[in-house]
Structure 1
Amino acid sequence: MAPLLAQAPTSAPATPSPSWTDLSLLDWQSWGFEIRIGLLWILLFVAASITIKLGWPYLRRYWRGVRFKGVKLSFKGPEVEICPDHEIRRVAYQAWVEIQTRKAGLLFDEEHDVITEVYDSWYQLFGVLRVLSKTIPAECYANDDDACKLVKVLLESLNDGLRPHLTRWQARFRRWYAAAIAKDEAAARSPQEIQRDFPEYAELVADLCAVNKRFVNFAADLHALAQGGA
């Protein structure tokens, strides 16, 4: 019988060396896998990352600079036309939400509204709109006519809208109302009934309703501005 020849062990096929253009994310080898990325793809990834990092400020500035259809806006003074970009739309949207969800954005209801509560809401709105106006960057205010117009109209709503009425009526009415509800007979009456006894009630309410109406119209204009003039 011929002697058995020792069989040389067979070795696994050699793994080919990766090419500089290889891109293989999952390459199964027996029970595992390997990831092969050629040098070309690494260089392209690095170049793309650097390009995005350097170009992002310019892309962002371009995106912010996209203008939408003009919207005519005013509170008490002459109308101004504003062609909003994304920054202006943001501020307009936030201002619209703040007005729409407060007493200033709703017509005064003599049967149910309490004047002191209206004044509390107006005071809060004054602070919110003032802070919101300051969120527009100084660079935009200085170099962008439309941003400048929006800030001026927002400040107009405060200085020519809320402030004159509050200056004239708020302190006088609150002092009178505090004394009125402290009386014994006030316990049997509603706040709405008591406030009607204010000596200048009709004049106060007429002025209050005029301010409310301006804010309702102003909120509608801000909503159109936030939608890009749609």
Structure 2
Amino acid sequence: MKMNIWILLFIAGVYLILHFGILKKIKSNPELAEISFSLKGPRVKYKIQRNYENLEIAHRIYTELITRKAANPIDYEHDVIKEIYDSWYQLFKVTREELKQLSGKSLQDRRNSDQLIQMSTDILNMGLRPHLTKYQATFRKWYEEELETEGMKGQSPQMIQKNFPEYTELIESMREVNQLLIDYSEQLHTFIIGECGTLKK
């Protein structure tokens, strides 16, 4: 019995030494990782430090992306556009909240998080916002009115939404945004697990 306790204590001690040694190394010398996206033009590159705060924020945004109708391929025959817009709005909201919560220390030393902030805001403002500005309000208003028309009663949301006057253009634009968000989630995942390219400082 005593031998088992000593073995467990030894294993715990080795774990703590290795664990905190690795954490100390990451904290004192975080890697600089490169992430790139195509935002309707040449690929834009971001060089982001893999420090604790950036990794935590990236993980929370990544989780939001893959658990919503954002970074999952849209099924244009069965998904409901209104629900996709609800999901994108929540993603917008959560991302802004995450960036607001950056610590004063990170904001003071802008090298730590300025590229993460820039990347996240570019995805929202250059990738997601243009589509929402052009289509969301118009579609929502049309959809609510269409639901009340006599001929649409009893029809499925998927059938109703196909009557939107700019449906083809909306879907094509939505497809581009969806692919960008999928790319975004994949890039965040490689950043989190440390498989993206690292650079010298």
Residues 65 and 91 of structure 1: is their aligned pair in 2 closer, same or farther, counting only changes over 3 Å? farther
Q: State, as a whole percentage, how many aligned pairs show the same letter.
A: 34
Among 82, 100, 106, which residue is 1:116 paired with? 82
* Partner Cα distance (2:49, 2:119) in 1: 14
CA contact (8 A) 1:68 1:229 kept: no
**Which of the pair is proportionally richer in helix?**
2
Q: Secondary structure at the match of 1:167?
A: helix
Which ranges in structure 2 are unaligned for 5 or more consecutive residues? 1-22, 197-201
Offset of residue 145 of structure 1: 2.1
* Partner Cα distance (2:37, 2:112) in 1: 13
Q: Secondary structure at the match of 1:154?
A: helix
Among 79, 85, 108, which residue is 2:45 paired with? 79
Q: How many equivalent pairs are there?
A: 171
Question: 1:172 is matched with which residue?
Answer: 138
The residue correspondences of 1:100-115 to structure 2 (distance < 5 A) are 100-115=66-81
Residues 87 and 65 of structure 1: is their aligned pair in 2 closer, same or farther, counting only changes over 3 Å? farther
Which ranges in structure 1 are unaligned for 5 or more consecutive residues? 1-59
Q: Which is bigger in relative contact order (C-alpha 8 A, separation at least 6)?
A: 2
* Partner Cα distance (2:71, 2:176) in 1: 12
Offset of residue 80 of structure 1: 1.6
CA contact (8 A) 1:89 1:227 kept: no
CA contact (8 A) 1:66 1:86 kept: no
Return the letter of the residue paired with 2:33: G
Offset of residue 70 of structure 1: 2.1
Q: TM-score, normalised by structure 1?
A: 0.68
The residue correspondences of 1:173-212 to structure 2 (distance < 5 A) are 173-212=139-178
Larger-gyration structure (1/2): 1
Question: 1:137 is matched with which residue?
Answer: 103
Q: Is 2:48 the counterpart of 1:70?
A: no
Question: 1:147 is matched with which residue?
Answer: 113
